[in-house]
Amino acid sequence: MSVFLFELSFCLAAPVWLLMIFAPAWSWTSRIAASPLTVVPVLLVYLGLAAPVAPELWVAVREPDLEAFRALTSLADGAGAIWAQVVAWDLLIGQWMFLEARRLGLHPAFTGPLLVLTVFLSPIGLLLFLAVRAATRTAGGTTGRTAARRAPEDAAPRPDPHDRHDRHDRHDRHDPHNRPALP
């Protein structure tokens, strides 16, 4: 059972990773990545693996010690539980990176390889992403789509098409018989 749950933990996370890497522009990808619930199935696997080794797990986390941790990971369920925990946290990190990259306007062709690296070596992937994020912010954050989304400071606010009074005012402005009084 431990082997099955060990393998299942990554299989449950893989669809979200695949969407973020290979379908970043699909509208559902951002919705899915914005939900922290994506990790719940993986955490349920964690609980299934952690329950049989709860005493050993408690010893390892109550007073962190290398020998207690080694004893925990020498058990199949203990190693599987640690793996499922890592898979869940890596997925949350990847989702944050994906959403932050979209917010910053980073191109998916650049973000995709960082996410792949994060799947395999999350500390390195996250460190590289944080460096890119800092560089983007230092440069003013005006890369890609972010610059295109920003309106010029001197642009007039757009009227609300649902505001009844605003529609009336716009109509009056375009009426040639409705001229302002001369000073």
Q: How many residues does the chain have?
A: 183
* pTM summary value: 0.75
Please indicate, yes or no, if residue 110 is contained in any of the structural domains. yes
Please indicate, yes or no, if residue 113 is contained in any of the structural domains. yes
Backbone angles phi, psi at 54, to 5 degrees: -55, -45
What lies within 8 Å, CB to CB, of 51 at 6+ separation is none
Please indicate, yes or no, if residue 162 is contained in any of the structural domains. no
Backbone angles phi, psi at 180, to 5 degrees: -70, 150
pLDDT digits (tens, 9 = 90+) for 4-23: 999 999 999 999 999 999 99
Tokens of residue 113, six digits? 């390889």
- Residue 138 sits in which domain range? 2-149
Please indicate, yes or no, if residue 183 is contained in any of the structural domains. no
Domains held by the chain: number = 1
Please indicate, yes or no, if residue 83 is contained in any of the structural domains. yes
Euclidean distance between CA atoms 78 and 82, whole angstroms = 6
Please indicate, yes or no, if residue 182 is contained in any of the structural domains. no
pLDDT digits (tens, 9 = 90+) for 76-135: 999 999 999 999 999 999 999 999 999 999 999 999 999 999 999 999 999 999 999 999
CA angle 23, 24, 26 (to 5 degrees): 70
Higher-pLDDT residue of 171, 41: 41
Backbone angles phi, psi at 153, to 5 degrees: -65, -30
Please indicate, yes or no, if residue 174 is contained in any of the structural domains. no
| pLDDT for 161 | 52
